Structure 1
Amino acid sequence: MNYLSSYAVVVPSLHPVRKHFLPFLEELVRKSPGAVVVIDDGSGEEYRPIFAQAESLGCIVLTHPENKGKGRALKTGLRHCVDQLPHLSGVITADSDGQHAVDDIERVAAELDRLAGAGTPAVVLGSRTFDAADVPPRSRMGNTMTTSVIKALFGRRVSDTQTGLRGLPLGVAARAVDIKGEKFDYEMNQLIWLITIRHQVVEVPIRTIYHDTDNSISHFRPIRDSLWIYFLILRQFLVFIGVSAASAIIDLAAYYVLIDFVFGPGRTTAHVAVAVALARVLSSVVNFVLNRTVVFHDPSAAVPAARRYYLLAVVIMIASSAGTAVLSVLSGGHDMWAKIVCDVVLFCASYAAQQRWVFAKTPPAATAARPAVSMRRR
C-alpha cells in the first residue's frame, strides 16, 4: 500500500549537497507521494542547477530570494500545501541533508494513516536513538538536555526533541503556519505548542543517520542556536517567575498604602490584619489574571479556572506551613532555610499544577484549510 500518496513531503533546503540531495529526492518522487515541495531558502545562483534538476524530477520548488531560515522555509512549504493541496490528508516535513531515509518517511505516513483511521489525528514524530557510537556527542548531549528540561517543565517526555521528520494532519499544518520562529527555533516552538495545547503526539522509531562525527552538513550553530532554543523552552517559566515577582511587589505596595495612608498612625492590630488580607486578595487577583493571559494563554472560561486557582492556593498555603514545620525539625531548627527550601519546591509545584490543571487547554478540533494565497514559484 502506498501510504505516501495522501501526503505532501516538505523539504526545506539551504546549500544542498548534490550527492545526498538529488538521490534522496529521486527516490522520494519514485515512491509517489501526493507532492514533494522543496524550498530553496536563498541558496543563491551557484545552487540553481541543483534545484532546477529537483524540479525536473517532479518536485515543486519554491524559492526564497534570500536566506530566511529553516522555520520560514518550513512555513512557506506548509502554507503552500494547505492552500494549494487541500485534497491531501497532511504534510510530512523532512530535512535535506540526508539524515532522513525515504522508508522512514513512509513509516511516518503509515502511522499518520493508522491514527487517522482510528479517529485520532495525531502528529507523528520520527524519533532517532542517540545511544549509538556514531552519534555526534553534541547531538547526544543536546537532545538529552532538551528532553529532560521539557519533561520537567511540561510534564511530557519526547525522546527526540530535535527531529525534523514530522507528520502533521492538514488541519494542524494550517495552524502551525502561524507559530512564531523563523530559524531552528520554529521546530522547538512547534513542539512546545503541540504539548501546551495537549495535542496527541506519537513517536515512531527511525534510523539515526549522520555523515560524519561533526554532522558537518547541518547548518545548525551549536552554541548560538542551542542557547536560543533553551531560552524558548524556559521562556514560559521565566515569565511565570516575573509575574510572581510583580504580584509580590503589588502585595507589598498595597499593604504599605493601606497601613500608612488609609489606616494611618492610629492603626490597630485589626487594621494590620485587614491590610494584609486586602493586599493579598488584590495581588492574587492580579497574579491569576496575568498567569491566565500572559503566562499560560488560557482561552477557556475564567470562572472555572479561578476556582481551581484558589483551591490550589489553599493547598499550597497548607503545604507551606506543614512542610516548613517538618523541614525545620529535620534540619535541627534551621527555620529560615526550611522555609526557603519548602517554598522553592512549592513554587515549582505550583507552576506545574497551573500549567497542567488550572490553565490546562483542551485539544483543539481539526481546523479547515486557510483560503488560498499567492506563492512565488520557480
Structure 2
Amino acid sequence: MIVLIPAYEPDERMHELVDALDTDGFQTVVVDDGSGAAYSPHFAKAARRGATVLRQPRNEGKARALRHGLAYIAERWPGEDVVTADSDGQHRPSDIAAVADATVGGDALVLGGRSFTGEVPVRSRLGNAVSRWLFRLSGGAVHDTQTGLRGIPAALITDVVAVSGERFAWEMNVLLDFTRRGIPIREVPIETVYLDHNASSHFRPLRDSLDVLRPLLRYVLVSFGSFLLDVAVLQLLYAVTGDLLLSAVGARVLSAAVNFTLNRSFVFRDGSSGGVRRQLGRYAALALALLAGGYASMALFVAWGVPVLWAKLLADAAVYTCGFLAQRGYVFRRGEARRTPGFVEKRVDTAKRA
C-alpha cells in the first residue's frame, strides 16, 4: 500500500504525517507541486525520513500532482494500491489506515467521508453542500464529494489517471466519470478536521464546486432552450391543426434535432468521439421513450381539464432528470479505452531514501 501526498508550500504538519505513516508501515510518495526553493528543505527532510519525493518545477495544481504521482507509482510499484492524502494534517493517520484497509483487495474507489459536524468553516460547509447537491442532480450519491482522502485499488489507477480536469475540479470529475461508467464508489467515515479554520487550503468552494459540474450546467442551458422551442412549436401547431398528437410529435422532432446537435457538440463533449450513427440511434430510442411518456402524461392532464401549456410543463418536468441521466450514461457515454499509466514525465526528480 502506497500513500500519495500532493504538497504545495507545506509546513511541519507534513513531516508529522510522514513520520506517522512510516511508523505504521506505509510507503509514502510526496509530490512537490512547484513549491519553490524556499520549501526545498521541507521536501529534503521528508526524503530523509523515508518518503520518495517527486518534484514538479512549477505549481501545476493538485490534479496534475496526483496524476503525476499515480503514474509514477503504477510504473515503480505495479499492482500496489494507493491512498491519497493531504499534506496539511487534516487527515489523521488512523483514518488513512481505515481507508487503506477498505481499499485492499477491493474493486471500488474508497472515499474517506466526513460528517461535517462540529466547528466547520463556513466556506467549507457551503462548498461541500453545493457540490453534494449538484452532484446528486447529475446522478451521483456521495456525501463528501470533496474529500482528498481516497483509496484507489491498483486495478483502477489507469481509470483515475485517464480522467481529465485541473485543480480540485479533477477530483470531482473522477466521481462523475466513475458514476457515469458504473464503477463502484464506497465511503468510510472519517473524522472531520479543520485546522486554523482551514486557512492552509487552496480550495475555492463556490468557483471550484461549480467549475467541476459544468456539463450539468451546460445541459440545463441546452435543455431549457430546447424546451422553449418545443413549447413554442407545440402551441403553434396545436393552434393550426387542433391535433394534440400531431402537434406533440412535430414539436418534439424539431426540438430533439436541435437538442441532439447541441448536446453532442457542447454538453457531452467527452463522449462525442463515438460514432454519430450509434449515438443518433440511442438518442432516437431515448427520445421516443421520453416522447411516449411525456405525451401520455400530457394527454392525461389535458383530459383532466389542464390547459395544454400547463400540461406540457408538468409532463416535461417529470422526464427531465431521466433524460439527463440517460444521455450521460448511455447516449454520450465515454468509450472504454483506457490510457496507459506509463507516462512518468522526464522532469521528475526523485529524492531517494537517505
**Secondary structure of 1:108's aligned partner:** helix
Mapped partners of 1:105, 1:96: distance in 2: 12
1:127 to 80, 96, 113: 113
The equivalent residue for 1:13 is: 7
Displacement, 1:111?
Answer: 1.0
In structure 1, the residue matched to 2:236 is none
1:165 has 2:149 as partner: yes
Q: Is the 8 A contact 1:185 1:228 kept in 2?
A: yes
- Taking the aligned partners of 1:96 and 1:68, their CA distance within structure 2 comes to 16
1:97 aligns with 2:91: no
Task: Work out the number of aligned pairs and report it.
Answer: 337
- Deviation string 1:227-257 (CA, Å, 9 cap, x unpaired) is 243232241451475378579989x99xxxx
In 1, the alpha carbon distance for the partners of 2:8 and 2:263 equals 40
Residues 321-330 or 185-194, more deviating = 321-330
Q: Distance in 2 between matches of 1:146 and 1:153?
A: 11
**Amino acid paired to 1:137:** V
The counterpart of 2:15, out of the listed 22, 44, 55, is: 22
- Alignment of 1:110 with 2:82, yes or no, is no
Distance in 1 (CA, whole Å) between partners of 2:340 and 2:321 is 38
- The 3-state SS of whatever aligns with 2:201 is coil
- Which residue of 1 is the match for residue 293 of structure 2? 319
> Partner letter of residue 146 of structure 1?
S
Contact conserved, 1:9 with 1:92, CA < 8 A, in 2?
A: yes
Work out which of the residue numbers 174, 190, 213 in structure 2 matches 1:190. Answer: 174
Q: Does 1:351 align with 2:334?
A: no
Q: Distance in 1 between matches of 2:163 and 2:35?
A: 24
Indicate the SS of the match to 1:177. Answer: helix
RMSD: 3.6
Alignment of 1:66 onto 2:75: no
Q: Which amino acid aligns with 1:163?
A: T
Relative distance call for 1:125 and 1:40 in structure 2 (3 A) is: same
The 1-side partners of 2:312 and 2:338 are apart by 47
Q: SS at the partner of 2:60? A: coil
Higher RCO, 1 vs 2 (CA within 8 Å, ≥6 residues apart): 2
- 1:118 maps to what in 2? none
Cα 1:143–1:243 change in 2 (3 A) is: closer
Deviations 1:303-351 (A, max 9, x none): 8876664444333223333433444577x64432332343244333322
Aligned to 1:138: 123
How many Å apart are 1:145 and its aligned residue? 2.3
Instruction: Tell me if structure 1 keeps the 8 A contact 2:53–2:349.
Output: no
- Is 1:229 the counterpart of 2:214? The answer is no
Gaps of 5+ in 2: 234-240
Match of 1:370 among 336, 342, 354: 342
Determine the C-alpha separation between the residues in 1 that align with 2:157 and 2:128: 24
Q: Unpaired segments of 5 or more residues in structure 1? A: 1-6, 116-120, 254-268
Report the 3-state secondary structure (helix = DSSP H, G, I; strand = E; otherwise coil) of the residue aligned with 1:125: strand
Give CA-to-partner distance per residue, 1:176-209, whole Å, 9 cap, x none: 2232223111111111111111101111111111
Aligned residue for 2:238? none
Give the Å deviation of 1:50.
Answer: 1.1
Bigger Rg, which one:
1
Which whole-Å deviations, capped at 9, do the CAs of 1:99-147 have from their partners, x for residues lacking one? 11111111111111252xxxxx2111111111x2222232222222222
Q: What residue identity is the alignment partner of 1:337? A: W
Whole-Å separation in 1 of the counterparts to 2:289 and 2:40: 63
Whole-Å separation in 1 of the counterparts to 2:334 and 2:158:
19
Distance across 2 between alignment mates of 1:43 and 1:278: 60
Structure-2 separation of matches of 1:278 and 1:235: 28
Deviations 1:228-287 (A, max 9, x none): 43232241451475378579989x99xxxxxxxxxxxxxxx9xxx99x989976875675
Map residues 297-336 of structure 1 onto 2, 5 A cutoff. Answer: 297=271, 309-327=283-301, 333-336=306-309
Is the contact between residue 15 and residue 43 of structure 1 (CA under 8 Å) also seen in structure 2? yes
- The percent identity for this pair of structures is 35
Q: How far does the alpha carbon of each residue in 1:31-76 deviate from its partner, in whole angstroms, 9 at most, with x for none? A: 222x311111111222111111101001011112221111111111
Q: Quick one: structure 1 residues 372 and 40, their matched pair in 2 at CA, closer, same or farther if it must change by over 3 Å?
A: closer
Conserved? CA contact 2:74–2:80, under 8 Å: no
For residue 5 of structure 2, what is the amino acid of its counterpart?
Answer: V
